[in-house]
Amino acid sequence: MARNVLDALTAKFGGAILETSSAYGDDVAVVKRESLLDVAGFLKSDPAMAFDLPCYCTCVDYLGMEMLTVSPTTPLAVPSIPSALPPEAPRYAMVYELRSIKHRHRVRLKVPLHDNDLKLPTLSGLWAAFNWLERETYDMYGVAFEGHPDLRRIFMYDEFIGHPLRKDYPKERRQPLVRREWTDE
Amino acid sequence: MGLEIATTKLEDAANWGRKFSLFTYPFVTACCGMEFMSVAAPKYDIARFGAEFPRFSPRQSDLLMVVGTITERQGPILKRVYDQMAEPKWVIAFGVCASTGGFYQNYSAMPGADQVIPVDVYIPGCPPRPEQVLDALMLLMKRVQDGRGHSQVRHKREQLARHGEGT
C-alpha cells in the first residue's frame, strides 16, 4: 500500500536498512541497531513521514526458530530445528509499530539483537509513550535501553529474578513473595 | 461445669448474631467482580442473608471475599488486608482463580489465595453463578454457627493454651 515510506527509507539510509517487505498492508523495515535513532528521528520529523503515533513496541524471542524478518507471503514455514541454526543468528527482534495520523500510513521497524549484546538506544526521547512500553520490554525480556530515563521493572516486583517472557524461562517457575505457614490449623 | 455451659450458650448466641450480620470486604481483582455485583444487586440480593453491606475497610468487616486472580505481587497486599481485619473473621475464595489459580499456570499467578491466608469456603466456577455464591454463603453461615471457621478455631486453641498455662 504505502511502499513510499519503505522506498524513502532505503533511498535515504541504504545499507542501514537490511531488508524491507510489504504484505497484507504491513510495511516492515529491518533496521540495523546502530542507525535506529537516525531512522526513527527521520520518520518522526520529516514532513512527508510525520509519524506522530507510536502504537507499540515489543520484543520477540526466536529461540530455536529462524527469525522471520519479513512478513510471510506464503503459509508459515515449520520452525527449523535449533541445531540447524547458525550460532551467530540473532535471537531477539525488537519491534516498533509507528503510525502517522496526518498521512494515514504506518510502518513497522524490526531490529535484530544478539543474545550476548541485548541493548539498543531508547526511543522514549522521540515518543514519550515508549517510556513505559520500553520498561515493559525490559521487564519481560531484559532488553537494556540505553539512555532511558527510568529503566525499572514495571509489572514484576523488584525481587523477581530473570525475565519471564524469554523462551528459556520455565513457564511455571514462580517466585513467591509471601507464603502462609500451613501448620496453624 | 455450670460456667462452661453458660459460656457455650453465650458463644452460640454470639455466633447466631455473627452469621446473620456478615460485613463483607470485597477484594475484587478480576472479572469475577461482575458476578459479585450481580450477587449484591437486587435480583440475587445477598442482603437477604444479612451479608448486605460491603465495607471497603478491612477494620470494619469480618468476611473477606477474595474475588478474582491473585498474583504473586498481590500476595503481601492480600495478607496485609487479612491481618488488618478484626477477629473473628472468615474468608471466601470466589471462583477458581482465587481457589486454585484456575487456568493460570505461569510465573505470575498465585495458585490459590490459600497460599497466603486460610480460606473457609471455596466457590468453583469461572465465574461462579450467583446461586453458587449464595450456597457458599449459607455453608459459611453454618460454619460460623458451629464455630468451625479458621479464626474461631484458632481463637479457641489460643484460649485453651492460655488456660493451660494459668493452671
Please tell us whether the domain made up of B2-166 is placed in CATH 3.40.50.2000.
Answer: no
Distance CA B73, CA B58 (A): 19
The answer, yes or no, to whether residue B1 has pLDDT greater than 70, is no
* Cβ count near A78 (within 10 Å): 7
| Cβ-nearest to B72 among A169, A176, A185 | A176
Q: Is the pLDDT of residue A72 over 70?
A: no
Residue of B nearest to A155 (CA): B73
Does the beta carbon of A184 lie under 8 angstroms from any beta carbon of chain B? yes
- pTM assigned to the model: 0.83
Match 455453608 to its residue by C-alpha cell: B139
The band of B163, judged by pLDDT with boundaries at 50, 70 and 90, is confident
A80 vs chain B: nearest CA distance in angstroms?
26
| Closest CA relative to residue B95, chosen from B121, B123, B115, B130 | B123
pLDDT-derived band at A77, boundaries 50, 70, 90: low
Q: What is the pLDDT of residue A107?
A: 92
Is the model's pLDDT at A4 over the cut of 70?
Answer: yes
C-alpha cell at B137: 454463603
> Region B58-72: what's the mean pLDDT?
92
Residue A113 to residue A90: CA distance in whole angstroms: 5
The predicted pLDDT at position A163 comes to 92
Q: What is d(CA A144, CA A121) in angstroms, rounded to the nearest whole number?
A: 8
Please say if the pLDDT value at position A80 is more than 60: no
For residue B107, give the chain A residue with the closest CA. A174
Q: What is the DSSP letter of A95?
A: E
Task: Provide the pLDDT for residue B47.
Answer: 87
pLDDT (0 to 100) of residue A1: 47
Report the DSSP beta bridge partners of residue A20: A29
Contacts of A74 (CB under 8 A, 6+ apart): none
Cell of B159: 484460649
Per-residue pLDDT, B49: 87
Extract the C-alpha cell encoding A20: 524491507
How many separate domains does chain A show? 1
User: Distance between CA atoms of A152 and B34, rounded to whole angstroms?
Assistant: 33
Q: Please tell me the predicted confidence (pLDDT) of residue A53.
A: 93
Show the domain range for A150.
3-184
How many CB atoms lie under 10 A from the CB of residue A77?
10
Q: Which of chain B's residues have a Cβ under 8 Å away from the Cβ of A163? A: none
Contacts of A56 (CB under 8 A, 6+ apart): A96, A97, A133
Cell of A17: 536498512
d(CA A141, nearest CA chain B) in Å: 14
How far apart are alpha carbons A71 and B161 in whole angstroms? 71
Whether the complex's predicted ipTM is more than 0.90 is answered with no
**Tell me: the pLDDT tens digits for A5-50?**
888 888 888 888 888 888 787 888 999 999 999 999 999 998 888 9
For residues B74-83, average pLDDT: 93
Give yes or no for a cis peptide into A149 (omega within 30° of 0): no
Which residue is closest to B152 within chain A, CA to CA?
A: A185
- pLDDT average, residue stretch B21-45: 90
Q: What is the CATH number of the domain that holds A173?
A: 3.30.460.80
Residues 6+ apart with CB under 8 A from A48: A8, A103
